[in-house]
Amino acid sequence: YGRMGGMDRVATLINAVRAERGEDKVLLLDGGDTWQGSWTSLQTKAQDMIDVMSALKVDAMVGHWEFTYGAERVKEVADKAPFAFLAQNVRDNEWQEPVFEPRKMFEKGGVKVAVIGQALPRTAVANPRWMFPKWEFGIREEDMQKQVDEARAEGAQIVVLLSHDGFDVDRKLAGRVKGLDVILTAHTHDAMPGLVRVGDTVLVATGSHGKFVSRLDIEVKDKKVAGVRFKLMPVFTDAIKPDSAMSALVEKVRAPFAKDLAKVIGKTDSLLYRRGNFNGTFDDLICDAMLAERDVEIALSPGFRWGGTLIPDSPITWEDVTNATAITYPNCYRNQMTGAQLKEVLEDVADNIFHPNPYFQGGGDMVRIGGMGYSIDVSKPMGSRISDLTHLKSGKPIDAAKSYSVAGWASVNEGTQGPPIWDVVSAHISKRGTVKVEPNTAVKVSGA
């Protein structure tokens, strides 16, 4: 089917649903991570996507990566935007007061619909706490139940949780919080072609990157949900006519950066992709760049799930590089780590992904490694999943007591020094001209 996504195509689908059902019967909700992940978003402090969301007439959203623009910017947008920024689980850490509106009541087609917001519970762990030092997160089950009960008491006939918990967390939550009709689950980028039911709650997972739009039609009888119909609508770029107004807006917000975005840095002979539980070729390229440009033995790159894909024989532009690296804490550090510390990093990240209790999972993928191989048994407990750490260049086992030169980026520590990762990657690609990423066989997985 070719390319997927494009906000002008998304607008076409949304406008078609509104025309069919009537705008007064349609509620448009956004699951977050919408303001971040591109050069234009970084340069405009998310104003490009805020303008797009406003034009789409989004009714409400929740957040995760949005918080990496800092507390002041997020509050500024939340206070002024024409859509609601909801988060029942974000508290001021001094008085434990809600930072954002926890829920909002909408009336659509004569039916009261309560939407409760849930930000990523582990935001202060996954991202730099110093960017929002006075805020606390968490799942907050009891508070969630209170929000549901209050919404019902106010006459809500439908209660929706708009969540950035991640699918496994929300599936567990659905069995523990009573009275939720729908959970719109985000964060883990799952695209589910059908509904997942937990008791009387249905879970909807729409994927990521604007590749899908979920449509959920809800029938209400006797002031409660009587039935639902669901469709996961793929956004096929080459098959859907773009909405002209949205196309014009996209062109407008990109115009100041168009020359930079189009700059060709090199070419790829390989398929460059981000997504993979243990590695991806774009991440391998980032690791190769750090090994070479920072002159280190080992490179660490975060298991982010956002970024584009390039097919073989494609040019690599500045936009392609920044689509995989554009964050507000991009410094590529260089320091020393012992073999024991490297193992500890891998164990910590693995537990974040493979912990048997979903409430202790953070989503995302395994940290990417350049210059080092290892084995992982995902069925084992914390501290014993990782083994056989090997320095690839020498072929020797990693010595727990020995110190190794290491480069990485996206450190959550304040004051991290080093060049922006996009400069490191673009310099590496420019020197090579054409890149070819060999298959990565350095990670051995068992227990899955």
Provide the pLDDT for residue 275.
Answer: 81
CB 225 within 8 A of CB 158: yes
**What residue type is 217 in one-letter code?**
D
**What residue type is 109 in one-letter code?**
G
Task: Choose among 424, 444, 406: nearest CA to 285.
Answer: 424
Provide the pLDDT for residue 276.
Answer: 86
**What residue type is 438 in one-letter code?**
E
Strands 158-163 and 111-118: parallel
Give dist(CA 169, CA 142) in Å, integer: 15
Per-residue pLDDT of 358-382, as tens digits, reads 999 988 899 999 999 999 999 999 9
Provide, rounded to the nearest whole percent, the portion of the chain with pLDDT above 70: 100
What is the average per-residue pLDDT within 122-147? 98
Q: Please determine, for residue 296, whether its predicted confidence score (pLDDT) is greater than 80.
A: yes
Q: Please determine, for residue 132, whether its predicted confidence score (pLDDT) is greater than 80.
A: yes
CB-count exposure of residue 1 (10 Å: 0-12, 13-18, 19+): exposed
What is the average per-residue pLDDT within 132-138? 98
CB atoms under 10 Å from CB of 210, counted, come to 17
3-state secondary structure at position 404: strand
Q: Please determine, for residue 1, whether its predicted confidence score (pLDDT) is greater than 80.
A: no
Q: Residues of 127-159 as b/e, b for ≥16 C-beta within 10 angstroms?
A: bbbebbeebbbebbeebbeebbeebbeeebbbb
What is the average per-residue pLDDT within 17-43? 97
CB 24 within 8 A of CB 32: no
What is the average per-residue pLDDT within 385-408? 98
CB 361 within 8 A of CB 352: yes
Instruction: With cut-offs at 50, 70 and 90, classify the pLDDT of residue 116.
Output: very high
CB-count exposure of residue 335 (10 Å: 0-12, 13-18, 19+): middle
Per-residue pLDDT of 149-167, as tens digits, reads 999 999 999 999 999 999 9
Q: Say which residues have a Cβ less than 8 Å from residue 440's Cβ, sequence separation at least 6.
A: 279, 281, 284
In the chain the domains, ranked by start, together with CATH numbers, are 7-252 (3.60.21.10), 263-446 (3.90.780.10)
Q: Please determine, for residue 188, whether its predicted confidence score (pLDDT) is greater than 80.
A: yes
CB 268 within 8 A of CB 435: yes
Helix pair angle (421-432, 281-293), 10° resolution: 90
Torsion angle, CA of 235/238/244/245, rounded to 10 degrees?
Answer: 30
Give dist(CA 374, CA 143) in Å, integer: 42
Q: Is the dihedral of CA 392, 394, 400, 402 positive or negative?
A: negative
CB 445 within 8 A of CB 278: yes
Instruction: With cut-offs at 50, 70 and 90, classify the pLDDT of residue 185.
Output: very high
Alpha-carbon distance values, 427 to 311, 362, 420 (Å): 21, 32, 11
Mean pLDDT of the chain: 97
Give dist(CA 105, CA 114) in Å, integer: 4
CB 212 within 8 A of CB 235: yes
Q: Say which residues have a Cβ less than 8 Å from residue 348's Cβ, sequence separation at least 6.
A: none
Rg from Cα positions in the chain: 22
- Is residue 91 within a helix (H) or strand (E), and if so which, with residue range? strand 91-92
Q: Please determine, for residue 448, whether its predicted confidence score (pLDDT) is greater than 90.
A: no
CB atoms under 10 Å from CB of 8, counted, come to 21
